[in-house]
Amino acid sequence: MEWRRKLRGFYAVLDRDDPALARTLLTAARVLQVRLKAAREKDVNAVARWARRLCDERGALLVVNDDLDMALEVGADAVHLGQDDLPLAEARARIRTAARRPLIGISTHNAGQVAAAAAGGADYLGFGPVYATATKRNPDPVQGLAGLAAAVRAAGPVPVVAIGGITPERAVEVAATGAWAACAIAAVNGAPDPLAAARRVAEAFAGAGPRA
């Protein structure tokens, strides 16, 4: 499937209203998640709308974090839901009648959540934190590379995106677990050279064989 090829490698996350950063990220990635946790809904909506246009220009997937209604409204390719967001079964039921059916990504943090999301029909999974992370205020327990590798095996054909504390330096060992992609927010968006950082993450997966 075309969307799986776009998901592969570096999974970019836009954490602020910054078109220049978005363009930089999409030089190394073909997926962009809009995730502005502290912003007002109308401001996130505005960012998602210009991000939709940019992703169309770049042939990239647009993902909206947390909010299925907004994802449907702006024509996103996917919605990414956390464990405390809209339940997967309800989200799947709602998109059956939508004119455009977005993919559904689910954040998972342990083996039980991986099994439930894969069995429930999630299109892809986020899994972690693989390493300690400062991106979340109350992070889940660190799962490590062994936990990530176990999640990849448990997910079967469902692609797993590694999350949490990932840096360009760690990307090669993350890719070696069989993960489909990696998300690195602080280590890329906050880097002195975000493009170079993003490319290092993407390149780590270019050399890793895709999981069957």
Q: Is the pLDDT of residue 65 over 60?
A: yes
Closest CA to 54 of 21, 100, 79: 21
Note the pTM of the prediction, 2 decimals: 0.94
Q: How far apart are CA 101 and CA 116, in angstroms?
A: 21
- Look at residue 46 and tell me if it is in a domain: yes
Alpha helices in the chain (DSSP H): 2-7, 19-28, 41-58, 68-74, 88-95, 111-119, 144-155, 171-175, 186-189, 194-206
| Residue 159 pLDDT | 98
- The percent of residues in the chain predicted with pLDDT above 90, rounded, is 88
pLDDT level of residue 209 (50, 70, 90 thresholds): low
Find all residues with CB under 8 Å of 84, minimum gap 6, and list them. Answer: none
164-205, pLDDT tens digit by residue? Answer: 999 999 999 999 999 999 999 999 999 999 999 999 999 999
Strands 181-183 and 160-162: parallel
pLDDT level of residue 140 (50, 70, 90 thresholds): confident
- The percent of residues in the chain predicted with pLDDT above 70, rounded, is 95
Q: Is the pLDDT of residue 37 over 80?
A: yes
Q: Is the pLDDT of residue 133 over 90?
A: no
Cis? peptide before 194, omega within 30° of 0: no
Lowest-pLDDT range of 35-39, 79-83, 87-91: 35-39
| Residue 212 pLDDT | 42
Q: Is the pLDDT of residue 208 over 70?
A: no
Q: Which domain holds residue 94?
A: 2-206
Domain count, the chain: 1
**Over residues 48-77, mean pLDDT:** 97
Domain CATH code at residue 89: 3.20.20.70
Q: How far out from the chain centre does Cα 124 lie? A: 9
pLDDT level of residue 100 (50, 70, 90 thresholds): confident
Q: Is the pLDDT of residue 1 over 80?
A: no
- Look at residue 212 and tell me if it is in a domain: no
- Look at residue 211 and tell me if it is in a domain: no
